[in-house]
């Protein structure tokens, strides 16, 4: 406790400095943490996360585009029906 007060931070704060949230891994030394950040495993997880994010954004954009097309098609159909109804009334 005396050491924590002298440093102005807790042991948990110091440990969190070497924590990788992406991989959920804790490291005691900076060198271990640095090695992990430069590792294939970490890079692979990061690429996978980025790919999933891009796919999600693409799917959302695609869905909104499809919804917009459906709305436009429905409006054209309603317009055609209105024109047919006007012609039949004449």
Comparing 57 with 12, which gets the higher pLDDT? 57
**Helix (H, G, I), strand (E, B), or coil: what is residue 19?**
strand
Determine the average pLDDT of the residues in 63-84.
89
Nearest alpha-carbon partner for 18 in 39, 38, 32: 32
| 52 band by pLDDT with thresholds 50, 70 and 90 | very high
Domain ranges of the chain: 1-38, 46-89
- Identify whether the C-beta of residue 47 lies closer than 8 Å to the C-beta of residue 22: no
- What is the per-residue pLDDT across 26-44, written as a single tens digit (0 to 9) for each? 998 899 999 999 999 999 9
Q: Distance between terminal CA atoms of the chain?
A: 93
Determine the average pLDDT of the residues in 17-24.
90
pTM above 0.85, yes or no: no
């Amino acid at each position: 406790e005396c050491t924590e007060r002298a440093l102005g931070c807790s042991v948990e704060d110091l440990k969190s400095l070497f924590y990788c949230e992406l991989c959920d891994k804790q490291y005691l030394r900076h060198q271990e943490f640095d090695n992990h950040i430069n590792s294939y495993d970490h890079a692979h997880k990061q690429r996978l996360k980025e790919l999933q994010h891009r796919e999600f954004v693409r799917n959302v954009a695609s869905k909104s585009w499809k919804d917009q097309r459906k709305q436009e098609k429905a409006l054209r159909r309603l317009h055609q029906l209105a024109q047919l109804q006007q012609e039949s009334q004449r």
